[in-house]
Amino acid sequence: MSMAEPTFLSGGEVKPQIGWHMPPHSHQVHELIVVLDGRMRLEIDGHSLMAEPGDLLLYRSGHVHKEISDDTAPVNTFFLVFEADDAALKHFQLRLRDADGRVRQMAAWLVRDHRAGVPPDRQTPLLRALLTETRRLGATPVDPWLMELRRHMQKQLAARVHLDDLARHCGMSKFAFVRKFRRLSGTTPMRELQRLRLNQARTLMLSTGLPVKAIAPAVGLGDEYQLSKLFRRHFKLSPREMRVRLRRKRGK
């Protein structure tokens, strides 16, 4: 069979678990890891790195790797298993940053549909769209300063965060901080924080059965009313409408 196009095989989730680890192993297929929460140490091809939320990791076919969850922050990941030509993955060395959460969202759909019994061939088009997004990420690397700050924001989603807190974290005045952030990202720090919160809310809505009233405080967006208002403004759909669309899609 020609492998000119990526082909989805399966997907799943590793839930947070103290002591979780995978001894050195390899696969005959490729595996994409989407780090959702927590941290883990990865050893592969002579490299050792600490993976954090927002990281995308590619385990290529035949490459031996070892994973060890951090017991102080047990890792939570999605994994996607697929076949593809090396040419389809040449942009992806080992790790990319999913700053906008687009890959995370597509991975959530793939895992959820796989659990629901959707045939792999019907999921392959979404996998291809996901890999297209990773090519975009590989072509536009994120500034390290902005990357670290987004990681910090991601960890603070449920907390009450003010502009002063973010500027202090970076050791800068508010004016200098906002100016640098806008120059690198094209938006303001607080709008970016709101975007991260909304993306996390969307992921929880589409990958869990949690009610909106439980999701809102978990992502720092107050109550159900506030979340629904912001959600509709940002995604042009209410939380309920988005969930209904997903159920219809899965029912096809």
pLDDT higher than 70, residue 80? yes
pLDDT of the residue at 1:
38
* Cα distance between residue 241 and residue 177, in whole Å: 37
| pLDDT band of 2, cuts 50, 70, 90 | very low
Q: Is the full-model pTM beyond 0.85? A: no
Q: Is residue 196 part of a domain?
A: yes
pLDDT digits (tens, 9 = 90+) for 56-72: 999 999 999 999 998 88
pLDDT digits (tens, 9 = 90+) for 129-145: 999 999 988 887 778 89
187, 130: one domain: no
164, 222: one domain: yes
| Percent over 90 (pLDDT), the chain | 57
13, 86: one domain: yes
pLDDT of the residue at 63:
92
Decide: 106 and 42 in contact? Cβ < 8 Å. Answer: no
* Cα distance between residue 241 and residue 58, in whole Å: 34
Positive or negative: CA dihedral 79, 40, 163, 180? negative
* Domain range for 231: 144-251
200 C-beta neighbours (distance < 10 Å), count: 23
Q: Is residue 1 part of a domain?
A: no
pLDDT higher than 70, residue 118? yes
